Amino acid sequence: MRLSVVVPCYNEEAVIDRFDQQLRASLDRLGVGYELCYVDDGSADNTLTRLRALRVEHPANTRYLSFSRNFGKEAAMLAGLRAARGDAVVLMDADLQHRPELIGRMLELHRQGHDQVVAKRDRSCDKAVRGLLSRLYYRAVNRWVDVPLASGVGDFRLLSRAAVDALLALPESNRFSKGLFSWIGFDTVTFDCRDAEREGGGGSRWRFRSLLDYGMDGLISFNNRPLRLAIHTGLALAALAGAYAAWVVVTALTGGVSVPGYVTLVAIIAGLGGLQMLMLGLIGEYIGRIYYETKRRPHYLVKETGEVGAAPGTAAPGSGTGRGADPGTGAGTDPGTGTGAGPAAVPAEDLEP
Ligand code: UDP
Ligand code: MG
């Protein structure tokens, strides 16, 4: 059995060497064949230089891809999954928050027949506010979405080849991995692990804004229940308006018409206006998603790859299109013959030997 480890890296020059050493030490102890697939997500620091050096140091089992700019962790994970050729793939962060020692446990559970082995962290290292917000978010979101999303369950997981192929066969360009992992199903097992502090400095690479967007994605990527909510709110308001109108008619019949009602009117108009804007925005979100899906832009652009066995630092411009991601490409192919060199624009998923 051969294991692929996919590692998205964004500005991780400070920690990447240490991570690589610890990871290799853990994997060597396990005695499995492995390849490391690093994905440089358009880092502004020397991460790419470090990756090139790592590949020169361990040419037999190190590969990397480098994006033309920062495309986000989702894109980096997708590129890594496409590149991975192992019979099982471990996804992990470069900041040592995902401890390489746990891979042994994951493999053990995988060998017992589980297709997805997921590490669940206890959030003890999250900043208090972020931890609280995350917990509240998951509690709220699970009422709304069709696929369950668990708090503390991140991207640190082992996927069997079948699960990876299932993920790669999903064509959407808006990828919310947490939901996708849950959506594909398969035999999933979760084990608890201690949270670790981020290393490599600079705090989480997520900006608050991108976390908010991520949260929104989680809410609406997987269901149309918010749209249902709009319909239900409309029905409830119509019922309320009917009752209010009846009450006004009855009081007018019994007590005559009284003119006051200015505050009520203004409040109702303003309230309804706000609600309409909210619902419009919601519909707009869905339309926006359709818009992006129809563009069919690639998820990322690759500016350089370093393959096993190729000359170091060969550049191969290419793109990671969402289409034609043939599940299973590269699975089981001989890992010793990759070239990764290509003068023309080659889709990233075609870079396999
Ligand atoms: N990352 C990435 N692209 C980004 C942001 C992050 O590839 O735009 C990588 C990052 O290098 C790390 C992993 O994703 O390996 C998780 O990032 P981080 O530790 O900052 O996130 P957190 O642990 O706070 O969820
Ligand atoms: Mg982290």
Residue pLDDT, tens place only, 57-85? 988 889 999 999 998 888 999 999 999 99
- pLDDT at residue 126 in the model: 67
Residue 120 to residues 26, 102, 103, 149: CA-CA distances in angstroms? 20, 11, 13, 12
Calculate the dihedral angle through the C-alpha atoms of 195, 5, 164, 183, rounding to the nearest 10 degrees: 10
Residue 331 burial class via C-beta count within 10 angstroms: exposed 0-12, middle 13-18, buried 19 and up: middle
Residue 332 has pLDDT above 60, yes or no: no
Tell me how crowded residue 282 is: count the other CB atoms within 10 A of its CB: 16
How much of the chain, in percent, has pLDDT values that exceed 70? 84
Residue pLDDT, tens place only, 186-232? 888 888 887 777 766 666 666 777 777 777 777 777 777 778 888 88
- Ligand 2 (ion): which residues have CB within 5 A? 93, 95, 97, 198
- The pLDDT mean for the chain works out to 80
Q: Are 27 and 3 in contact (CB under 8 A)?
A: yes
- pLDDT at residue 337 in the model: 35
- pLDDT at residue 125 in the model: 67
C-alpha neighbours within 13 Å on the C-beta side of residue 1: 14
Does the CB atom of residue 352 touch ligand 1 within 6 A?
no
C-alpha to C-alpha distance for 195 and 331, rounded to whole angstroms = 32
- pLDDT at residue 203 in the model: 67
> Is the pLDDT higher at 329 or at 175?
175
pTM of the model: 0.74
Q: What average pLDDT does range 91-96 have in this prediction?
A: 90
Residue 97 has pLDDT above 80, yes or no: yes
SS (H, E, C) the chain: CEEEEEEEECCCCCCHHHHHHHHHHHHHHHCCEEEEEEEECCCCCCHHHHHHHHHHHCCCCEEEEEECCCCCHHHHHHHHHHHCCCCEEEECCCCCCCCCCHHHHHHHHHHCCCCEEEEEECCCCCCHHHHHHHHHHHHHHHHHCCCCCCCCEEEEEEEEHHHHHHHHCCCCCCCCHHHHHHHHCCCEEEEEECCCCCCCCCCCCCCHHHHHHHHHHHHHCCCCHHHHHHHHHHHHHHHHHHHHHHHHHHHHHHHCCCCCCHHHHHHHHHHHHHHHHHHHHHHHHHHHHHHHHHHCCCCCEEEEEECCCCCCCCCCCEECCCCCCCCCCCCCCCCCCCCCCCCCCCCHHHCCC
- pLDDT at residue 34 in the model: 92
C-alpha to C-alpha distance for 60 and 283, rounded to whole angstroms = 51
Does the CB atom of residue 64 touch ligand 1 within 6 A?
no
Please give the distance, rounded to the nearest whole angstrom, from the Cα atom of residue 195 to the centre of ligand 2: 10
User: Under CATH, which architecture does the 3-222 domain have?
Assistant: Alpha-Beta Complex (3.90)
The bridge status of strand 62-67 relative to strand 116-121 is: unpaired
- pLDDT at residue 10 in the model: 92
> Residue 87 — very low, low, confident or very high, per pLDDT cuts 50/70/90?
very high
> Residue 3 — very low, low, confident or very high, per pLDDT cuts 50/70/90?
very high
Instruction: Tell which one of 67, 73, 199 to mutate to probe ligand 1, the residue whose CB is within 8 A of the most ligand atoms.
Output: 73
CA-nearest residue for atom 13, ligand 1, is: 93
Please give the distance, rounded to the nearest whole angstrom, from the Cα atom of residue 92 to the centre of ligand 1: 10
Residue 336 has pLDDT above 60, yes or no: no
Instruction: Tell which one of 39, 95, 123, 209 to mutate to probe ligand 1, the residue whose CB is within 8 A of the most ligand atoms.
Output: 95
Residue 90 has pLDDT above 60, yes or no: yes
The bridge status of strand 88-91 relative to strand 62-67 is: unpaired
Please give the distance, rounded to the nearest whole angstrom, from the Cα atom of residue 203 to the centre of ligand 2: 8
Task: Give every strand in the sheet of 318-319, ordered side by side.
Answer: 188-193, 116-121, 153-160, 88-91, 2-9, 33-40, 62-67, 301-306, 318-319
Residues near 24 by beta carbon (within 8 Å), at least 6 away in sequence: 36, 58
Tokens at 235, concatenated: 């029905």
- pLDDT at residue 310 in the model: 58
Please give the distance, rounded to the nearest whole angstrom, from the Cα atom of residue 72 to the centre of ligand 2: 14
Position 41, amino acid: D
How much of the chain, in percent, has pLDDT values that exceed 90? 25
CA-nearest residue for atom 12, ligand 1, is: 93
Residues near 275 by beta carbon (within 8 Å), at least 6 away in sequence: 233, 237
Instruction: Tell which one of 205, 207, 212 to mutate to probe ligand 1, the residue whose CB is within 8 A of the most ligand atoms.
Output: 205
Q: Are 65 and 79 in contact (CB under 8 A)?
A: yes
Please give the distance, rounded to the nearest whole angstrom, from the Cα atom of residue 271 to the centre of ligand 1: 40
- pLDDT at residue 60 in the model: 87
Ligand nearest to the CA of 73: 1
Please give the distance, rounded to the nearest whole angstrom, from the Cα atom of residue 23 to the centre of ligand 1: 17
Please give the distance, rounded to the nearest whole angstrom, from the Cα atom of residue 258 to the centre of ligand 2: 64
- pLDDT at residue 183 in the model: 86
> Residue 141 — very low, low, confident or very high, per pLDDT cuts 50/70/90?
confident
C-alpha neighbours within 13 Å on the C-beta side of residue 247: 6
- pLDDT at residue 205 in the model: 66
C-alpha to C-alpha distance for 201 and 15, rounded to whole angstroms = 8
Ligand nearest to the CA of 131: 1
Residue pLDDT, tens place only, 267-325? 888 888 888 888 888 888 889 888 888 888 888 999 988 877 655 444 444 444 443 33
